[in-house]
Chains A and B, each alone.
Chain A
Amino acid sequence: MPNYTTAGGFLLVLAIVLPVAGALFSLVLGGRRAERVVLMLMPAGLAIAAAIAIGVWRTHNVLQYSVGSWDPPLGVAFRADGLSAAMLVATALLVCGIGLFARGEFSSSRSGETRAPLVFWTLLLAVWGALNAVFIGGDLFNLYVALELLTFAAVPLVSLDGRSDTIAAALRYLLFALFGSILYLLAAVLFYGAYGTLDIVLLSGRIRAEPVVWAAISLMTAGLLAKAALYPFHLWLPPAHAGAPAPASAILSGLVVKAPFFLVLRLWFDIMLRMPEPAAAQVLGVLAAAAILVGSVVALRQARLKLLIAYSTVAQIGYLFLMFPLALKPETGHPWSSVAWTGGVLQAISHAFAKAAMFMAAGLIAEALGHDRIAGLAGIGRALPITVFAFARGGLSLMGLPPSGGFIAKAMLLTAAVAEGQWWWAVIVLTGGLLAGGYVFLVLARALADPSEPLTLLSSISPSRQAVVVALALCAVLLGFVPLRPWELLQIGRLDIVAAGFR
């Protein structure tokens, strides 16, 4: 039997250990040094993510590492395929952007208060480590631990300012997330009881169509949907994401909700490799459509900018789950090679960049104006043109206008819907785009209008923070230049090929 751990497998361990060790260090070192720890780790983490992606790309194979040289099923494994690599790089880029942006808000030298900065910097690293662990976890229990770490790192970010309404939002988030964890753990127990392993690759080879599998998959999916805030489990998201400070909102909306989505992908496409379930995928599609329509319509009616952006996240999460009914069609071949699968993944990545940019732009606007009421935005386009430009670029990606990752993603979903004759999903995609156009325009029209009285800014906004926001928005634009067909990097390490090698 060949060695389980591949060359470069240690990078996977570093991707988890480095942020987690950093989080512990910053906790020990205390407030003033936490920020420095993060700023030092950012380039290192980015380099590791890039090295993993290059390793996957060069070898055209997965990177694997078995902890303590105990191969599965005895030990636990880390595994990075093309999808993991893409998510790792996107996460590292976003964390770096958010870290640079947050220096203006949580710099300990700026105010005497050290509690919120210390908590923020520590949890930023904890979230990063947990996300990396989700993306490269190879067995269901590992992934459970990673999800829990993510939840407990993300929830306090909501209530950093300590106001009673944000604490209530954080507790609501915690309640939904823990409900999800219980369902997930229950399902993991069912899998282990039935097949004696939790390793994803082994499990995909062993499961058969029987009641215990249906029960486990339903439980796990429901739990993950609660964490991913797919309609009708979205109730916790808007107050939590809108109440958090701007850099925290960016990471919650951009990355944290993508982790449970990523696990649903693993569950439906990897573990259920041999028995795709198109009927159940249609149910996910219906929830996705409801999320798109309800989220967008409610976003249109919001009076506050951050709440509008948070409701738009509810809608955009719907787009992620539209790929299930479109990609899980047995007659169209392997779901990985379908345009819908690539479109869904691209939507996850480009939404992360666009939404982070929009939340941070909203944060700068709120800082300058002292409020984020949409009705009072007149003149801000003149006062902070670069910030409003970044918001507009992010918004155009959400609407699905080129050049942007959002356009490519939506064009792929539309193409899949038309090619498979499931035209009703195409109608949903287009309607969602129109509604997104509505709420983005609502904000931009106000921001570009002339104010009735001259605008007085409470504080001047540093150009470097505006530059970070623009850079993230431009990342979403750059994703618009990937070719409009299934993406080769994402195909590396597809489990059907791996499974063929086992037989």
Chain B
Amino acid sequence: MTVGEALLFATLAVPLIMLAACVSRRARERIPSLLALAPVPALMAALLAPDGTTLVLPEPPFRMTLAIDAPGAMLLGAAALLWILAGAYASADLRGDPNAGRFAEWWLLTLTGSLGVFIAVDLVSFYLTYSIVSLAAYGLIVHDGAPGSRRAGIIYVALAVLGEAFLLMAFVFMASATPDAAC
């Protein structure tokens, strides 16, 4: 595994490991202050991974191809930078919030999907990461539990699921137009 491939892998693995760590109560209290660190591998991947780095995760169990090219690197880098800055702000904002752990979990899940869409290059992985980012954002929207944010959350999920249905349909059209492209 080259450095570039390792960085691509870490882009998704690091936030997911932090998310998994939230199972333990002690880590759950620490993680909210570390949110800015989760997107660091993504930023490094955008800066350091050579153009065209491709990582095919072993199947089974995975069936995922990750890759990075110049436009992807720009988007990934910008997104990672934004997530780092927002994460630093969120960590400060969450101090003293009894629900900080819950917020951090949704944050990490949304982040994984958000960064994943830039490096997923097969249809299924793209759809997977896309649905993670769009659905997990619900948890961030309704975090404060106020009636207004709950209403917004319901409208958001309805539109997100509708968007996903259209996206899936489009993928099916694409796949049937190019029968050789294994999705």
Chain A interfacial positions (CB closer than 8 Å to B): 399-403, 411, 414-415, 418-419, 426, 430, 433-434, 437-438, 441, 445, 448-450, 478, 481, 483-485
Contact = CB atoms under 8 A, between A and B. Distances in A.
B145 interface: yes
Nearest to B62: A481
Interface stretch (B33-41, B77-85, B157-165): B157-165
A399 B165 CA distance: 10
A384 to B, nearest CB: 14
Contacts of A401: 131, 135, 164
Interface stretch (B9-17, B43-51, B87-95, B166-174): B166-174
B173 A484 contact: no
A430 B165 contact: yes
Interface in B132-154: 135, 139, 142, 145, 150, 153-154
A449 B139 CA distance: 10
B96 interface: no
B128 A402 contact: yes
B63 A419 contact: no
Given A402-B128, A433-B168, 6 more contacts: A411-B168, A411-B183, A415-B175, A418-B173, A449-B142, A485-B182
Which applies to chain A's interface (DSSP): helix, strand, loop or mixed?
Answer: helix
Contact of A437 (B63, B139, B161): B161
Given A402-B131, A414-B172, A441-B157, A484 B162 contact: no
Contacts of B142: 445, 448-449
Nearest to B177: A418
Nearest to A448: B139
Contacts of B60: 481
B2 interface: no
A474 to B, nearest CB: 11
B169 A434 contact: no
B172 A426 contact: yes
A293 to B, nearest CB: 15
A188 B103 CA distance: 61
B176 interface: yes
B59 interface: yes
Contact of A430 (B128, B169, B175, B182): B169
Contacts of B172: 411, 414-415, 418, 426
A478 B139 contact: no
A433 B124 contact: no
A445 B154 contact: yes
Interface in B46-75: 59-63
Contacts of A411: 168, 171-172, 183
A403 B127 CA distance: 9
A77 to B, nearest CB: 35
A408 B168 CA distance: 11
Contacts of A403: 124, 128
Interface string B105-140: 000000000000000000010011001000100010
Which applies to chain B's interface (DSSP): helix, strand, loop or mixed?
Answer: helix
A208 B60 CA distance: 45
Nearest to B174: A418
Contacts of B158: 438
A433 to B, nearest CB: 6
Given A402-B124, A414-B169, A419 B153 contact: no
Nearest to A431: B165
Contacts of B162: 434
Contacts of A483: 63, 182
23 contacts: A400-B168, A401-B164, A403-B124, A411-B168, A414-B169, A415-B175, A415-B176, A418-B176, A426-B172, A430-B168, A433-B168, A434-B161, A434-B162, A437-B157, A438-B161, A445-B142, A445-B153, A481-B59, A481-B60, A481-B62, A483-B63, A483-B182, A484-B124
A419 B176 contact: yes
Nearest to A382: B102
Contacts of B127: 402
Contacts of A441: 157, 161
Nearest to B183: A484
B26 to A, nearest CB: 16
A433 B163 CA distance: 12
B166 to A, nearest CB: 8
Nearest to A381: B102
Contacts of B171: 411
A414 B168 contact: yes
A450 B157 contact: no
A418 B176 CA distance: 7
Contacts of A449: 142, 145, 150
A478 B145 contact: no
A484 B161 CA distance: 22
A158 to B, nearest CB: 33
Q: Which 3 residue pairs are nearest across A and B when measured between Cβ atoms?
A: A437-B161, A402-B128, A414-B172
Nearest to A484: B183
Contacts of A478: 61
A129 B183 CA distance: 39
A399 B164 CA distance: 11
Contacts of A399: 161
Contact of B61 (A419, A481, A485): A481
B159 to A, nearest CB: 11
A432 to B, nearest CB: 10
Nearest to B59: A481
A267 B77 CA distance: 57
